[in-house]
């Protein structure tokens, strides 16, 4: 039955919404990442924490939160699980007891050698070139900056 009362006449089609494209692409990424990360025993958010630590060990929870765009209340349980798995250590900063620092364990450092193949697998799954992905990544970063700024203004 066609209900032509005008309601929703100005709403865009679902597939024309950029937010839906980003959201559904995120889901598609997760499906590709899941079997790769299952082999490592990591969830996607845990993988991101480990990537950040592999790039630079011994970071504060605040530093990690800024890099990952996560609040401490979201990041702390993630870090506790990684610590329980023996991948990271959490300790209070000697200079400022309020600061918690995160360092990789030997097991956490060793996991990097198993994770090294993930980027190539993801690149292959995208069907895009490195140049195309870099350009898209730059556009997405600009979009994120603009949206974060608009959220701060609102």
Enumerate the domain spans of the chain: 39-115
Residue 64: CB atoms within 10 A of its CB come to 22
Cα distance between residue 154 and residue 148, in whole Å: 10
Overall fold of domain 39-115: Arc Repressor Mutant, subunit A (1.10.10)
Q: For 74-130, what is each residue's pLDDT tens digit?
A: 999 999 999 999 999 999 988 898 999 999 999 999 999 999 999 999 999 999 999
Query: Residue range 127-134: average pLDDT?
Result: 97
Long-range contacts made by residues 34-43, C-beta under 8 angstroms, separation at least 24?
Answer: 36/117, 36/118, 36/121, 36/122, 37/118, 39/114, 40/111, 40/114, 40/115, 41/85, 42/111
Where does the pLDDT of residue 140 fall: very low under 50, low under 70, confident under 90, or very high at 90 and above? very high
Predicted confidence (pLDDT) at residue 6 exceeds the cutoff of 90: no
Q: Using one digit for the tens of pLDDT, what is the confidence trace for 9-19?
A: 688 899 899 99
Q: Which residues pair with 14 in a beta bridge?
A: none
Confidence (pLDDT) at 66: 96
């Amino acid at each position: 039955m066609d209900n032509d009362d005008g309601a929703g006449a100005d709403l865009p089609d679902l597939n024309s919404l950029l937010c839906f494209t980003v959201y559904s692409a995120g889901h598609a990424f997760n499906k590709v990442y899941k079997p790769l990360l299952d082999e490592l025993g990591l969830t996607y958010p845990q993988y991101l924490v480990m990537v950040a630590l592999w790039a630079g060990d011994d970071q504060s929870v605040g530093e990690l939160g800024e890099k990952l765009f996560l609040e401490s209340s979201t990041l702390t349980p993630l870090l506790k699980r990684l610590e329980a798995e023996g991948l990271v250590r959490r300790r209070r900063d000697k200079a400022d007891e309020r600061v918690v620092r995160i360092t990789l364990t030997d097991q956490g450092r060793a996991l990097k050698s198993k994770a090294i193949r993930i980027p190539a697998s993801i690149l292959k799954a995208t069907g895009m070139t490195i140049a195309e992905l870099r350009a898209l990544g730059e556009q997405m970063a600009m979009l994120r900056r603009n949206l974060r700024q608009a959220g701060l203004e609102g």
